[in-house]
Amino acid sequence: MQDKYVRRRRAVLAVLVAVSLILLTAYFGEAENSPLHSLQQGIVAVFTPIQDGASKVLSPVRDLAGWVSSTLHAKSQNAQLRALNARLDTELAQDGTALAAYTQLSGEVKLTNRLNLRQDGPVYANVTTYNPEVWYETIKLDKGSGAGIAAGDPVLSAQGLVGDVSDVGSNFAIVSELSSPKFAVEARILSSANNNAVGTLQPAVGNPTTLQVNYLSPSANVATGDEVVTAGLSDPSNPAVRSQYPPGIPIGTISSFNYNTLVDNGTVNVSPNVDLRNITQVEVLTRVGG
């Protein structure tokens, strides 16, 4: 009896591990519109309304926990928060939620107008959930393919680039943030020396407050504080070949670098403009180059 149970236990364990490996292998080998991906999107589409409902019902608990968390955070950064106190007092006197939403949206509209992005089909969406898992750094939006959003579309906030759409369903979209390991974009450094060095912006995995521009020319003339924007590269001989990101979208500023690293690896560190853990509304560009 005991031997039978042990054999059954081991067999089930082996089967479960094998099924996991088969799923993983199959998922990697599949195209975006294949059965496993479709199943996943279908389940998310069903799960999203339940999750939204639970999120709304449980929002007081979340707010309470958020308040406790903020309090702990405030204690650890007391000096910094004292400096911000006067400004926060003013903001608390206003209608916080509505004002924040208005500010966010108007900032995005200003950015859209400044960079002439109207032609790129901006769609405004609310952030419903975060997935802060370090290997997935994603946010979920309340709009999807029904609003014209497609995989690969750039996502902005009022402060600049947030990331790109990695998965999309009819009523949701998953955005890989700048700090996600899967994210990379060609970036241009608007140098005071006006040589506009171009490199590849990638995250430093595990450190959401720092990005890196790699593959810079060793002779690039950069300085701390220089602004980093999307390069928006295109092939002059073939207008169809172009980056999915329009040029000039702000990403961040150079936070630190040293000449040895720059010469040896072509790398500088960048501090993103966007607070990736504190986004409520975003703008998705659905027709870049279209």
Report which secondary-structure segment, H or E, holds 173.
strand 173-177
- Rounded CA gap, 200 and 80, in Å? 33
Least separation in angstroms between residue 258's CB and another protein is 16
- Three-point CA angle 27, 30, 34, nearest 5°: 100
Q: How far is CA 14 from the centre of its chain?
A: 37
* Nearest CA-CA partner of 138 in 203, 86, 77, 196: 203
248 exposed, middle or buried (CB, 10 Å; 0-12, 13-18, 19+)? Answer: middle
- Closer residue to another protein, CB minimum distance, 48 or 230: 48
Which range touches another protein (CB under 8 A), out of 86-94, 95-103, 209-217, 219-227? 209-217
Q: Which of 21, 150, 223, 241 binds another protein (CB under 8 A)?
A: 21
Least separation in angstroms between residue 44's CB and another protein is 6
Binding mask 118-147 for another protein (x = CB under 8 A): -----------xxxxxxxx-x---------
Least separation in angstroms between residue 149's CB and another protein is 14
Per the structure block, which two tokens stand in for 180?
């996600």
Least separation in angstroms between residue 221's CB and another protein is 23
- Rounded CA gap, 273 and 228, in Å? 10
Strand extents, DSSP E, 17-159 = 122-131, 138-141, 154-157
User: Which residue reads 């020319």 in tokens?
Assistant: 217
User: Which residue reads 């409902």 in tokens?
Assistant: 53
Q: Does position 151 bind another protein by CB under 8 A?
A: no
Q: Which of 170, 171, 214, 243 binds another protein (CB under 8 A)?
A: 214
Q: Does position 261 bind another protein by CB under 8 A?
A: no
Least separation in angstroms between residue 204's CB and another protein is 4
Binding mask 158-197 for another protein (x = CB under 8 A): --------xx------x------x-xx-------------
Size of the site for another protein (CB under 8 A): 67
| Phi, psi (deg, nearest 5) at residue 286 | -95, -10
Beta-bridge partner residues of 190? 227
3-class DSSP state of 68: helix
Q: Given the rule CB under 8 A, which residues bind another protein?
A: 1-2, 4-6, 8-9, 12-13, 16-17, 19-28, 36, 39-41, 43-44, 47, 50-51, 54-55, 58, 61-62, 65-66, 69, 72-73, 76, 129-136, 138, 166-167, 174, 181, 183-184, 202-208, 210, 212, 214, 277
